[in-house]
Amino acid sequence: MQYARLDGETVTLVVGFVPDGHADLLYCGPRLDPVEDLAALRASGSFGAHESQPDAPPVGGLLPERKDGFAGPPAVELRYGGRQFSTDFRPVRCEANADRLTIEFADAGAPLSAELEWRIHAGDVIVSRVKLNNGGDREIAVDRLASLALPVPPRFDRITSYAGRWAGEMREDERGMGAHGFASRSRRGKPGFDGGNWLILGEAGGDAVIGMHLVWSGDYETVLEVDADGRAMLMIAAALEAGEMVIPPGGHCTTPAAVFAYAADRSMLAQSFHRYVRETILPDRRNWRARKVHLNSWEAIGFDMDAAKLIALAEEAATLGVERFVLDDGWFGSRRNDRSSLGDWTVSADVLPEGLDSLIDRIEGLGMDFGLWVEPEMISPDSDLYRAHPDWCLHEPRRERPTQRHQLVLDLSQPAVTDHLFGCLDALLSAHRIAHLKWDHNRDLFPAANIHGPAGYDQTLALYALIDRLRAKHRDVEIESCSSGGGRIDFGILSRTHRVWTSDNNDAIERLRINAAWAQFLPLEVIGSHVGPSANPITGRRLDMDFRAKAALFGHMGVEADPGAMTDAERAVLRAHIALYKDWRAVLHGGALFRLDHPDPGVSGLLAWHDASGLALATQSRFAPNHDVAPVRLAGLDPAKRYRVTLPEPWPGKASRYLADADGWRAGHILSGRVLMERGIALPLAHPETGWLIALERMDR
């Protein structure tokens, strides 16, 4: 028996090997002492064989297979010439250094090998990949190759996944693992709103968690199985259709990465993932740029656009302190509604008779830069592009071509298609001063067939190649990824883009919930978060500007409404919050995020902490049963230090009359971290639509 350990800043993983047998996870938890006796660790955590097992009890381990009677989900499923093949992988080599563990497995009877790599990034996040080598002279069809198989440490007995729909993304679904576990798979050519590619395992009766995610913008497959003995195996993979992945003789394939992290609680888990995104994923990670306040034309004017309306909108935006004007759908071809013109990426003379540059000049003259909406992967049947190239879309020969939002999907596996798209986008970015692209994707891939067969996997790789090619030439352009809101958010797309549009739902009550769920994995600076109109076009709710603006401030702030339709008072409140966002964005976008727990289910809170300052947001979204709502307890402070606490204005109109000591909160109360975390501060949070910002400054003495 041999052992390998991988130590992060706060975690340790221990893997044990049985030569000619398996590699298994013996420990995953808080960091162990360097001298821990690993043989004793194994012996004291193992059970003896029992009656209903095979004579040699199977171990799923880090590369679970069917070979020896393991009844959980296999990580590898292969076929030779149409016939399923039972692999027999045995660990033959292991290398462990400071931040990386590599295990090579060789099949005992076939010319096949697999290499599993676990690598620690950003302190405590483990990135897992598997490479499969075909050393033989026959093709191998891969039906499944998991990026990660994790024998679940027995202390975990709950699983949180996310479910959702358009405008209702990221509904947390927490359940016990139960007798049979959990399974989720997307079949949309993207993760979609299904959300099973984001997972959290929870500790029985405790706060410890393991978070997990597949770094992949195509279909995913997640399986958690619990066997009759109570052992659980969690497997996450890019979902493959039969015949979609074939390895030629002498060839290999490598899975997308999966990431996982152990943490003491949900706030620590969020901080681990945020650090990972900031240090490893984001394209501009080495070059921190202040995230500009956007105004996006979509909710303000939709398709009903012309030059005069756009200029009026831009002028209003500038008076609020907006820094970037984003021209959304409707500026190109003959696109006056969503029935036509995707693919015809030329500026419409009906909308902008004096051209795009003349609009950009006006916008820049108002002190803003310019962003443009595109949906490159799509094609409208009613478009010049479709008339010229009817076979450029994904389709099954001789079958109907069903549309969604009246559009089809381009087949990115055809080089002519991606060359054409690169040409269109490059021409736009080269000819005009465009600082930002909003890259949208508004339908599922069905039929997911290209000229070779199943399309999903290749389509995703081709999309990555297209964005990479564009970014190589236009380094400074920021890209926002959108898919009818949050239909394609994952670390794969985020490694090529700067921001994600987390939902089309700008209703602040809904968006607070949606963004808080995303913030479990994504740092605030990438979470597009806009002030929408009232009444909200999706929910019909009317919410105070104060509440809408506070909700939008905790993210990458923007406006998705027509300021010209607001009252003077609303504009003043919005302007003040945009100024607050600018004052605080270095803290919000560079800091550690803490979740604030509260006994009232309508109250939620987040605190961002950076250097010696922090900003918290506490909101109430329902009518509280008691007027004197429990104090808001802060988190992440040093109990022994003292803090100056103020409540930045504007305050919520209705609620502020119930504040006991308005002048004191303006000047600032000095309180210890212990009081702030144990007792908390009393804030009027009895009414729905109430939000308070809490500013903290750590005192030296």
Out of 77, 194, 329, 490, which residue is the one contacting ligand DGJ (CB under 6 A)? 329
Q: Which is nearer to ligand DGJ, 77 or 560 (CB)?
A: 560
From the list 491, 551, 506, 503, the residue with the least C-alpha distance to 688 is: 551
Shortest Å distance, C-beta 356 to ligand DGJ: 18
Q: Which two tokens stand for residue 40?
A: 């004793």
Among this protein's residues, is 350 annotated catalytic?
Answer: no
Strands (DSSP E) contained in 23-88 are 23-30, 76-80, 83-85
**First vs last Cα of the chain: how many Å apart?**
54
**Rounded distance between C-alpha atoms, residue 354 and residue 366, angstroms:** 18
Give yes or no for residue 298 binding ligand DGJ (CB under 6 A). Answer: yes
Q: Which is nearer to ligand DGJ, 410 or 593 (CB)?
A: 410
Give yes or no for residue 168 binding ligand DGJ (CB under 6 A). Answer: no
**Which of these segments, 416-424, 463-471, 481-489, 627-635, binds ligand DGJ (CB under 6 A)?**
481-489
**Rounded distance between C-alpha atoms, residue 522 and residue 489, angstroms:** 10
Q: Which two tokens stand for residue 495?
A: 């490694």
**Which of these segments, 181-189, 340-348, 479-487, 651-659, binds ligand DGJ (CB under 6 A)?**
479-487
Catalytic hit among 504, 507, 544, 546: 504
Out of 189, 196, 211, 485, which residue is the one contacting ligand DGJ (CB under 6 A)? 485
Q: Residue 361: CB partners within 8 Å, gap ≥ 6?
A: none
Pattern 503-542, ligand DGJ, x by CB under 6 A: -x--------------------------------------
Number of residue whose CB is nearest ligand DGJ: 329
Give yes or no for residue 484 binding ligand DGJ (CB under 6 A). Answer: yes
Catalytic hit among 107, 219, 411, 440: 440
Q: Which is nearer to ligand DGJ, 65 or 504 (CB)?
A: 504
DSSP string, 205-224: TS--EEEEEE--SS-EEEEE
**Contact of 178 with 226, CB cutoff 8 Å:** yes
Give yes or no for residue 439 binding ligand DGJ (CB under 6 A). Answer: no
Shortest Å distance, C-beta 691 to ligand DGJ: 24
C-alpha separations of 597 from 292, 603, 630 in Å:
30, 8, 11
Sign of the alpha-carbon torsion through 329, 335, 339, 341: negative
Give yes or no for residue 383 binding ligand DGJ (CB under 6 A). Answer: no
Residue 632, judged by CB atoms within 10 A of its CB (0-12, 13-18, 19+), counts as buried
The 3-class SS string of 393-461 reads: ECCCCCCCCCCECCEEEECCCCHHHHHHHHHHHHHHHHHCCCCEEEECCCCCCCCCEECCEECHHHHHH
**Which of these segments, 314-322, 413-421, 453-461, 477-485, binds ligand DGJ (CB under 6 A)?**
477-485
Sign of the alpha-carbon torsion through 298, 300, 301, 302: positive
Shortest Å distance, C-beta 215 to ligand DGJ: 23
Give yes or no for residue 221 binding ligand DGJ (CB under 6 A). Answer: no
Of residues 639 through 678, those in contact with ligand DGJ by CB under 6 A are none
Q: Residue 44: CB partners within 8 Å, gap ≥ 6?
A: none
Among this protein's residues, is 440 annotated catalytic?
Answer: yes
What residues are labeled active site? 440, 504
Interface contacts to ligand DGJ, rule CB under 6 A: 298, 328-329, 373, 440, 442, 482, 484-485, 501, 504
